[in-house]
Structure 1
Amino acid sequence: MAGDRAKSRRRAYSDQRAADIGGGVWSVPVPIPGNPLGYTLVYAIESPGGPVLVDAGWNHPDAWQALRDGLAGVGIDVADVRGVVVTHYHPDHSGLAGQVRENSGAWIAMHEADIALVKLFRDVVGDGTHRDFQADQLRRAGAGSHEVDAAVTFRPEPPALPDLALTDGDLIDLPGRRLRTIWTPGHSPGHICLHLEDADRLFTGDHVLPDITPHIGIYPYDRDDIDPLGDFMASLRRVMELGAIEALPAHEIRFADVAARAAEIHAHHQEKLRDLRALMAESPGPRTIWEIASLMTWNRPWDQLAPMLRGMAAGEAAAHLRALEVSELIRRTADEPVRFVIHS
Structure 2
Amino acid sequence: MSQVTDHGGGVWGIKVPIPDNPLGHTLVHVLDTGSGPVLVDTGWDDPGSWDALTAGLGALGIAVADVHGVVITHHHPDHHGLSGKVREASGAWIAMHAADTEVVLRTRSADPGHWFDYMGEKLTAAGAPEEHVAPLRAARESGRTRTLPGLRAAVPDREIVPGELLPLPGRRMRAIWTPGHTPGHVCLHLEEAHPANLPGNGRLFSGDHLLPGISPHIGLYEAPEDTRVTDPLGDYLDSLERVGRLEPAEVLPAHQHPFTDAPARVRELLAHHEERLDGLWRLLLAEPLTPWGLAERMVWNRPWEQIPYGSRNIAVSEAEAHLRRLVKQGRAEAVTGTDPVAYRAV
TM-score, structure 2 as length reference: 0.90
Secondary structure at the counterpart of residue 226 of structure 1 = coil
Counterpart-to-counterpart distance in 2, 1:149 and 1:22: 52
What is the root-mean-square deviation in Å for CA atoms of aligned residues? 1.9
State which of 129, 132, 135 in structure 1 corresponds to 2:117.
132
1:60-99 alignment runs, 5 A limit: 60-99=46-85
Per the TM alignment, residue 89 of structure 1 is displaced from its structure 2 partner at its CA by 0.3
Higher relative contact order at CA 8 Å, sep ≥6: structure 1 or structure 2?
A: 1
Q: Which residue of 2 aligns with 1:280?
A: 284
1:1-344 alignment runs, 5 A limit: 17-124=3-110, 126=111, 128-150=113-135, 154-158=147-151, 159-199=153-193, 200-218=202-220, 225-283=229-287, 286-334=288-336, 335-343=338-346
The answer as to whether partners of 2:72 and 2:79 remain within 8 angstroms in 1 is: yes
Counterpart-to-counterpart distance in 1, 2:135 and 2:330: 34
Q: Which moved more, 1:67-76 or 1:184-193?
A: 67-76
Counterpart-to-counterpart distance in 1, 2:75 and 2:272: 25
Counterpart-to-counterpart distance in 2, 1:128 and 1:288: 26
Unaligned runs of 5+ in 2: 140-144, 194-201
Counterpart-to-counterpart distance in 1, 2:258 and 2:308: 30
The answer as to whether partners of 1:137 and 1:221 remain within 8 angstroms in 2 is: no
Query: What's the CA shift string for 1:98-144, capped at 9, x where partnerless?
Result: 110001100000000001111111122x4532211211111111101
The one-letter amino acid of 1:314's match is V
Query: What's the CA shift string for 1:299-324, capped at 9, x where partnerless?
Result: 11111111111111111111111000
Per the TM alignment, residue 67 of structure 1 is displaced from its structure 2 partner at its CA by 0.5
Rate the CA distance shift 1:221–1:59 in 2: closer, same or farther, 3 A.
closer
Counterpart-to-counterpart distance in 1, 2:62 and 2:185: 27
Counterpart-to-counterpart distance in 2, 1:123 and 1:187: 22
Secondary structure at the counterpart of residue 246 of structure 2 = coil
Counterpart-to-counterpart distance in 2, 1:190 and 1:30: 23
Unaligned runs of 5+ in 1: 1-13
Q: Which residue of 2 aligns with 1:11?
A: none
Counterpart-to-counterpart distance in 2, 1:40 and 1:81: 18
Counterpart-to-counterpart distance in 1, 2:229 and 2:9: 43
Counterpart-to-counterpart distance in 2, 1:96 and 1:183: 22
Per the TM alignment, residue 248 of structure 1 is displaced from its structure 2 partner at its CA by 0.1
Counterpart-to-counterpart distance in 2, 1:112 and 1:129: 23
| Percent identity of equivalent pairs | 50
The alignment covers a number of residue pairs equal to 326
The one-letter amino acid of 1:305's match is I
Per the TM alignment, residue 336 of structure 1 is displaced from its structure 2 partner at its CA by 3.4
Secondary structure at the counterpart of residue 174 of structure 1 = coil
The answer as to whether partners of 2:11 and 2:32 remain within 8 angstroms in 1 is: yes
The one-letter amino acid of 1:291's match is G
The answer as to whether partners of 1:180 and 1:195 remain within 8 angstroms in 2 is: yes
